[in-house]
Structures are given as structure tokens and as C-alpha cells.
Structure 1
Amino acid sequence: MNSGRPWARSGMRAFVVRCFTIVVAGVLLPALRQTAMAQTFPPNASWLPLQRTDPMTMVTTPIGDPEGDTAGERDVVGNEQFPMAYVWSDTTHYYFRLRIDQTVLPSATSFAPFGWGCVIDTDLDPSDYEFSTLVSGISNPDEVRLWANSTQQTPNDPGDTPETLLNTYLDPLTLGSMGYGYAREATAGSNFPLATPTPDFFIDWAVERSSFESAGVGAQAPLRIACGTAANGTFLSQDYSGPANLPDLLGDPVVCDQSGCVLQNCAGFGTPCSAGVGACASTGTYVCNAAGQAVCNAFPRKPGVEVCDSVDNNCDGTIDEGCGDSDMDGLTDPVELDLGTDPEDPDSDNDGLPDGQEPEPGIDSDGDGAINALDPDSDGDGLPDGVDNCPLTKNTDLGDLDGDGAGDACDDDDDGDGVLDPVDNCVRHVNPVQEDEDGDNLGDACEPGLDSDGDGVANPFDNCWSDANTNQQDIDGDGIGDPCDPDTLPVDMPTDDADEDGVPDTRDNCPHAGNKEQMDIDGDGFGDTCDADGDNDGLPNEIDPCPLDPRSSCPNPSGEVMDCTCRVTGSGSSPAESSPFFWLALSATLYGARRRTRQRR
């Protein structure tokens, strides 16, 4: 008997209260719960520790919490070796685990009168959370609860009160009860506090995957989780892993599908993506798989039956096949009449592009009052659609780095190396294997100051950065240096003026990049067109807002520097420049650039 404790229950009173609660719950809350079954919790090796990346150092570590900051059964503890919180999933359930400094079970069938739980962010907005789940030892009988928080009353508050109870599992420690097996205590294998070690315990609990799916949370949805304890059975209020500020408490995103949980820290995570064509098209974002690779979480919709409605209903890549098309322009006559184009004229707007090839023909992309099929310049950049390699995206220079016909402004793989731009660690340098020697998410092919093959030409300017090619020999002129080029043919024999700028290679300060005037603003012997740091200010051209002006900020009007917008100290900084991530990346880049500059001299 534990009648000396404030939460003690006498035998008869506990029996009557428990029966009454079950009867009332069964009458009033039938829609809140499904029949629950005892759980098989994952083995210790399967649990994924919740981790957090420091925004200043970019170091990722398991979430911890010091011992002694909250009393007794509410004292959550952990460090890098013994993490504070874990998560896992399988085909039917999500599982949660917290490390506690002492046992949470005053008896074999009841938890202490407190709460332990986690809040879950599903929209990647760190100022609010959408769901919470906790174990309540305050209710009688004990419960595992799943709540929805549809309205964040106080931004950034991890203790915001949720509004809707989605599911509850009653009496999880009592064999034969409705919620038996949905929560437990387990030995943790650690001994906090370190000064006077005592055994720690895990409190584990589970909620059904179907409850999240019914609320619109898919298997590939990134989740951010923060955990703590409670003085009640509804919301967290004590012993978080830090100050009660939700953005600082949420762990790094995880995706928990039917085979487990994966930390979402790979390059490209969160960038938009799509799958399917026509009516089957869907959108999503890149998420990280178990191998640490970014994959699109969008899946094509189910194809339908093709009808004449200007939509690819059966998702085969052809719109309205089988419908009449008098002018053979790719649009059926009924569709043309509906759009207002001429079914007898294959190019109704005379822009050089057949009506059926007009991108999004029924949309007015530039807002000038004319749909694209009747607008010779759909993006309003001054170029007719027939010659514009990005007809819906302004790109007056028609830049097309990989020569695939799609302008860089609308090409999802600018360098044509088979790696899509959102996940490419060198967007404008061919790097199909994504080599990254220093692990900074900037590929070796475009790493300022890095000369992988030791031929004296930095990777960003080397036409064969993986094999020495000091003279940048490219006999067929395809931009790929001969040592790396599998199809080199003797088309153009080498001359003493490789870049054909009229300056012999022996006197050319950029022998492989046209620099007829031999401009060298920083006087370092490398011409401006091939100098990775044109103004020698230690800031590589790729991230230097004023690559030919050595000032790191510009007290004078930026117009003094032709075609350059300088950073004005204290104003006008871009969002990237105001981010600590930008300056961390910049510091690493500067180091490489200065090392290269010293090697030149």
C-alpha cells in the first residue's frame, strides 16, 4: 500500500472510479478511439535519437538535458552518449521514448501523477506545433493521449494548450484493459547524476499511425519533435531540453515511414519537387532516405480516361489524343475554340511556336491580359516565345550552360550532369558523383581554391579537375579537357593562342579564358576573367557582391561600380547574408581562397 503518497488510491474507491471512468468514456468518446492492441516496442538498437543542429557551428548532436533541473519523476536527463529522447515507427504505430532520472512507476499498474510527452511540428514552422502526445499519470485510469493543436494561441510556446483530443488509450499498464501495452517503463542503462549515479529509466509509449494519417499526416511528412514533462495531462509545462522557446527546442526533422525513422539532414532536404505528368502530376519536397540521399516524396496520381478537355487525363504525355485537330498544331479544335485560338492556324499568335507547344496555353503568365497561346511573348522579357529557351521565365541572355535547349533560368539541371539543381553540390559545374572532399556541401568541382589534380588550375576553372591538364588541352573544343574526355577527336589542332583572344599563350594572363585587354584589377598576374578572387579582397567571386571592388562594404553609392550592387553596412543585406549559416559558409570559403592566393604568390 502506498497510502502515504498524495496520489494513493484505496482499493474500493479506485475500482469504482475506474469503472465509472471507463463507462463514461465508452459512452461519450466512442469516436475518439479505435480498439487498441498491446504493442511490441522496437529493440533498443532501432530507436532513433532526436538530434539538433547548432545554427552557429552547424554541429549536429543528440538532444540532452542536465539532471536535477526538475524534481523526481519529472526529471528528464540525457547527453550525447545517452540521448534524452528517441522516436521510431513501423507499419502501424509511432513510438516515443524519454530518459528519466528515476522510476515513474510507484506501482506496477500506475504511473506517478505527472505527464511525459512530446509536441510535433508537421509544417516546418517552428513557431507552432500541430500535434502532441503524452502519457498522463494524473487521469484515473492512466492514459496515453494524442492531441491536435489547430490554433497556436501563443507563438513559440511549447506549452500551448491543444484543442482536440484525437485518440486516447486507457490504462496502458493493466492487462486486459482497452489501452494495455501502449505505455511502459524500461531500464535505460545509464546512471545520472554523474556525481552520485542512480539508475535511469525509459518511459515508452505508442500511438496509432492511422490517427496521424486521418489528420492528414503522410508517411513521408517531415516531423520536428520537442519533448518534456507536464504537471497535467494536457500540455507540456516542465523540464524541456532548454528554455521554453519552441524554435530552440525542436529537433532536426525526421521522416518516420513504415520501416522506421530517418534524420533529415542531407543536402537538398526541403526543396520542392514533382512527380507525374498531366492530371497525374503532384508536388512535394525532397526528403532524405536511409542512405542519406535526397529523394522526392511526391508520387504520381492515378491516370484517368482521356477526354477532349485540354488535359492529359490518362497521363501518357499526350493531350487529347483521338480528338480532331484541323491545323495539326497539337491542340484539338474544341480546345482551340474554348481558348480563343484559331483552329485553322497552327500559330495563332505568330510567335514561331505552334499553339500546341505553347507552355500553359490557357494561362496569362505575364499578366498582360493575353493568354500564353495568344501572347507572342508569354513572360514579357522581350523575346518571342519561338526563340525564348525559357518562354515562361525571364532570361534575356538566353543562357544555357549545358546546351540542352532549356535556358538556365528554367532548367532543373543547369550543368547537365544528371544531378538536379536542388540537390547538386555544384549547380554550374559538372560533378555527377558529387565529390565533396571536405564535407561542406560544396562540391569539389566548384570549391574555390581547391586544385584536386594539382595541375595549378583551380577546380572551378579547370576543364578536367580530376586529372592533371596544366595546359587545359581540349583538342575538340567541347569544354571537357582531353584527359577527361572519352570522345576527343582531332578536330581543332592546338595553337599558341588557346582562347583565341589575340594574345599568345606565353604572354596571356588568362590563356584559357578570353581577356583581350589583359585586365588584372588586383595586379596578381591572373587576368580578371580567370581570377577566382578578382579584387584580391579574400572573397571569392562566386559570393562576392562586388567581385571587382576590394571593399567588403560600400560607404559610397553602389552605382560607382559598374554592374555591381555593393553591401551597405547596416542596411540592404540579403536574407542569406543576415543568416549565421551564410557567414559560417563564408568563413570556410575564405580560408580556401586565401590558401590558393598564397600558393600563387
Structure 2
Amino acid sequence: MASIFRPRRSAGSALLAAALGLASFALPASADAQNFPAAAWKPLVRGGVRLADPPGDAGSAPDVVSDPMTGGAAAYFAGDANFLYLRLRINDAVLQAPADFKAFGWVCLIDTDGNLASHELSIGVLGSTDVVELRRNTSPQNDGSPADISELLVKSYPASTHARAVAASSMVSGDADSFIDWAVARVDLGIANQTPFRLACGSSSDAQSLAGDLISDKGALTLAGLVADPIALYGGTCLYDCLDSGAPCDVGVGACLATGLIQCDGLTRSCDAFPGEPGTETCNGIDDDCNGETDENFGLGMPCDVGIGACVASGVLVCTGDETTSECNVTPGTPVPEMCNGIDDDCDGETDEDFDVGVACTSGLGACEAAGVKVCSGPNTTQCDAQPGIPEAEACNGIDDDCDGVVDNGLGLGDLCMVGVGACLAQGVVVCDASFGTTCNAMPGLPANETCNGVDDDCNGVTDEGCADTDGDGLTDAEEALLGTDPNDADTDDDGVPDGAEPSMAEDTDGDGLINALDPDSDADGLFDGTEMGYGCDDPATNPAAMTCVPDGDLGATTTDPTKADTDGGGKLDGLEDADHDGVLDPGETNPNDPSDDAYACFKDVDCGNPVSGSVCEAGACVPGCRGEGGNGCPYGEVCSSSDVSRGVCAPAPNECAKDADCGAADSGRVCDIPARLCQAGCRGAAGNGCPAGSFCTSETSTPGVCAPEPTVGFEGNGVFCEAAGAGRGRRTGGVPFALVLGLAAFVVRRLSRRAS
């Protein structure tokens, strides 16, 4: 192409110029650009064929188009003695208001040296500022890119005098088209007469480069494919350069392509070939319908898949052998047995269909329960995807807060409880309260006037206040009458412990028939209660002749529990650890408060405690346990797992029941709360379980009562209780006046409360 650019015209060209009456002359810089040509526009051509551009390849105003119906071009040029004029056809209006162009750019790049690696000049309209700019490319990229920017502004012209919009007489794609014309002074352009140059035109955002809609009907992206045939300035006009007249050219595309020769006389330039007739497009690698696209209706090269699930294979569309359509060029894979992995392994269109994936499920218990769905956990297994909540402390609210599968456990619900004091004492069970804590559901009785009867009648926590305590032992005479102690003897059992200080005074700890207040060795461990509690024997009320008091040798420095035969639980009775029974830890003796030194030889269960101690002799050592027969059993309220002479373990008596027999033996002191189906402490006067030996039931019917120690109304001086003549009897094991039951029950509870405090 460099051969067409030359410093001077040939003789033939000079004759052409002379024939056109065009002489070379200087152009004034002040030439008026408002006189745009009316009918002198010549189309830009490439290979003798008018430049064309399809609609829709750019948005709105920057979309440059040609009208194929009228044979019109997408770009034109003209010239006179003062100006070079350029024109583009736009698929829209280019003005947004009179004399105000839309904020786009339209530009033509100019090649003057025949080297299409870069352009030298650009002339464009910048709509955002309504100016026409002549620019020079001072730093060419030399890669043939039309986006190469012309950096240097040579001259700027107001669009009001050097640009205009003209309505087109036809439309291309359904909306009004317009032409945008602009002019640049030839004196500023700096291109000499008869010097050929080429234009590459289109739209742009900045009018400094060609980076919008490139005028091309063949997809060219570089200057070599975009520039038009050369033109040149001749005196007072601008003409086609005809140096290559007679050179080969072609018209049409695809199967319609035809070749000919360029015909040029300066005023016109064309290719004398005629394109072929379009045919029907088939899938054969040829542009049969001559629209510039090959096999465009068959999606060739588009990604495609065949098969389903794991059998899917990916390829691209290719022509079929009969050229009628396209097909995917791959073969699907081979199915395998279905696994639980989120893949359709057997290629049947269903994923993991042999497993319960997606089925609703829950994880966790109680308040921690969370809902989820089943998901794969392995090739052949599933699991619930729910994450259980975090357990909290159990509240009394009907909810399993600690998430252990049990509602409101550990709160004592259903346990027997008492409210009130004295005669107002009432029994109930533990229930939830409004603040999610627990409370006793019993209603205390109503206070009455206090009388000297051993009962706290006015329910103030003090029994028989103001009543006589003849012996000054801390118990009123009325209390002692109910209890069976001597109101005139402060230490009835002569163990050194005042009657009012006796531990659990109304209970019979060792089950020997004597309540603790009358039993100098309440737990039958071989040590008198006074010795265990740190008392001396110097109280005037303590009778030394009774031989039931041994003073504590270390004055209380070492004490043990007089209601627990083995205080340290090590398996050896307190009386065996303190071998000389003086209350002092002597050399050679074991410590009754240290279980680690308790191992000692035993021969039979009785060596390990009383019959309800829960301790038996095994392999010469006392160990926790029980026997169903022929040995020691369990404390009251517990049952043995053994039913014969073999060793068993003690455990709380069953709490679920349907009848009293489910709660223990007939003398167990436990009955069944039928509505609640729960075992609880109590007794029945008839048709149910009664009380253990040494106690009586406060009920004479099948209505549940409570077991209470059997009191006496008289004292014979030998530790044996007797009952008042003619007194009525309730159900009991030793005979107790029923008239004393209510007062005695209140007394027992009060004394237990006092000792606990």
C-alpha cells in the first residue's frame, strides 16, 4: 500500500486535475465552515465497494449504519477550497437539544504515510463539550489498533459552526436516522494537494480514538482492515485517488464473492464485478446466504452436553455429515451404581434417589432439639444436618432445658414436702412455681391459741412458750410427756446428753425399740451418745449408777455422729475404732473420722453394723451392701437388690407404683400415691402398707397417714414405755394412743428442724 502514497502526482493525475479545473492554491485559516456541501458527498469505499455497517452493533447514538436498500454508505467525504468535510450515518438522532449534541463522540482516523501500523491524525466531534477537534498521534502504539489515542490537540472548532445534524430520508431499523457532518480547515490539516490519505471512521466516547462502533461489515479490528480506499485533496475539491485504477477488486461475501477491476475517474470509484445470488445457508463451512456469517444458524463451536448426571460429557457443536444441522461431538459416559454423594451416578436423572436425603429430621433432645434434613454422610449412609442447641440449667417449666431427655429432672418434683410450723404443718409435694423455680403445694393450717400440750398451736415456731420445763432440759413438760422422757429428769437415758439436746430425739436410729432420747447408744456402735458428742458425765441429772455415760476424754476435740454407727463410712464401727470407748484417739486406734484406716477383719454381718446398716462382711472386711436374707439389710427407704444370702446393693425404693406392695414390704412405711403413681413415705391403717417396728400409723383407714415414733404417757423408770389405761389405739406395731398422734407428729417435725439448724 505504500506505493500509492507519493510526494507528487503523476502526469496522468495532473491532467485529471486540470480537466476538473482544479488548481492548487493557499487556503485562508479564517474560512467559514457553515457552508456544508449539499450534493457533493462521495461515499467512502473499500476495494471499490461502499463502506457498510450493520445496525445494532453499538448502542443508540454511536451506532453507525448504512442503508442497504438505497445502496447508501456508512461514511462520506467532500471538500472545497477551505475545508475537508466528513459525514457518518447514525441509527438515531445525534442532538439532544438544538445545537447540543449528545454526549458521545464520532471520529475519523487519518493515515497519511501508508503505514497502517498507526494513524497520524484524527478529526472528530466531541458531543460532551460540543467541539470539533483536530488531533495528532504523537505516541503511536504501532500495533494497528484503532483505539490508539491521538494525544496532541492541534485545533479545536466550535460545533455550532463546524458540525451539524441532518435528518436522513430513510430509516434502517425502525427509528429515525440522521447524518452528523463536521469540517476541518485544510490549512490546519496540513495535507498537501494531491497527497493521498486514508480514513477509518466510526464512533467513540472521546473523539480521540476509534473505540466504539467500527465501520466494518467483515469484522475487521485493525486499521489494515478498516481504512477506506485513498482519497486526495485537489485544489477546490476532494476526489478519489486513482493510482490503482484497473487493480483487482472483489464484491460480495461468502459464496456470492466475485472479482473484478477497480474503475476510477476521480469523481467515482467502483469495482466492476457483480456478486452472485445468495442461497440457503447449510452447515458446510461456507457462507451460502452471503450475509458475512458462516453457518450462523447452527451454533457451531457453542458448548454442548450429552448424557445426564455423572454420564454428562461436554463438547462443542459441529456440522452433521449431511450438512443439514449440527450435533455435539462427544459421547456420554457409562452409568455406575448409585452412591450417596450428591451425584447422579447411575445417570437416570435422579440424584441419591436410593437414600433418604432431604427427609425432615431432628437432632438433640428437649430444648436443644433442632430441625434439619438428612444429608449424605458417606457413600452409603446419611445423617441429620441439624446442629442441636446448647444445654442450659434445668428450670421448672415443663421443658427439658438441660437436654438430657428428661423434663424438669433434678428439681425434686413430686417429692414430699412440708409447709408451716407446729400445728399448722401441712404435707404436700414439690411443684413448679410461676418463676420457674419450685415450691411446695401444701397449704399450712390455721394457727390456734397456744396451750401446754407439746404442740406449737399458734404456729410461731416455739412450742408451749410460757409452759413449764421442770427439769430445765430444754423440753417442756408437755413435750416430754409426748416424747416419753421424764419431765423431772434432764437426762432420762443418763448418757450425759440433756434430753433437749438428744440427736433426732424422736427417732429410733438403731431400730432397737428405743427412741434416741431414751437410748444411751442411739446408733448401737458401742459408744454412748455423750461420749460421741463431747459431753462429760458431771451433769447432776446424769446418774453414774446407770453405767451409760463415759465422759469424752478430749472434751470434744474428737467427736462422732451418734446417729451414724460408722461416722466416716469406712466400714468400721465408731466403737471399734475407739477401742477403749473414751472419746480420745489413742495410739494404736484408728481414726473414726478417717475412712482410709478402717479396714479390719470381720466374721459376720453383725460385726459391720445393725441389721439395717447397709453394710455386710465380705472376705473378712466390712463393705457397703446388703443381703436379701441371712444378713444385714438396707436402711429404711432403700431396698436390697439381693433376694437371698448373696451380697446385693442398696438403692432407693422404687418410686413408680400401682399399689402399696410395689413400694416395699407391709411394714416398709411407704405407700403408693395412686393418682400420681409415685411411692412416698406414709402408711395406711387398713388395706395397705403399715409402719416399721417401733412406730405407728396416724391413719386407721385406707387413707394415707404418716409413721410416727410410739410415745407413752407414763414412765416406769426402767426405759420401758407404757400407755395410759383405756386410751384409744390406732394401727401400730406396739400400741399408741391415737389421741396423741397429731401432737406427736408436729413435735417430731419441730425437733428435726431444730436439730438441723
TM-score by length of 2: 0.28
Higher RCO, 1 or 2 (CA under 8 Å, sep at least 6)?
1
Larger strand share, 1 or 2: 2
Bigger Cα Rg: 2
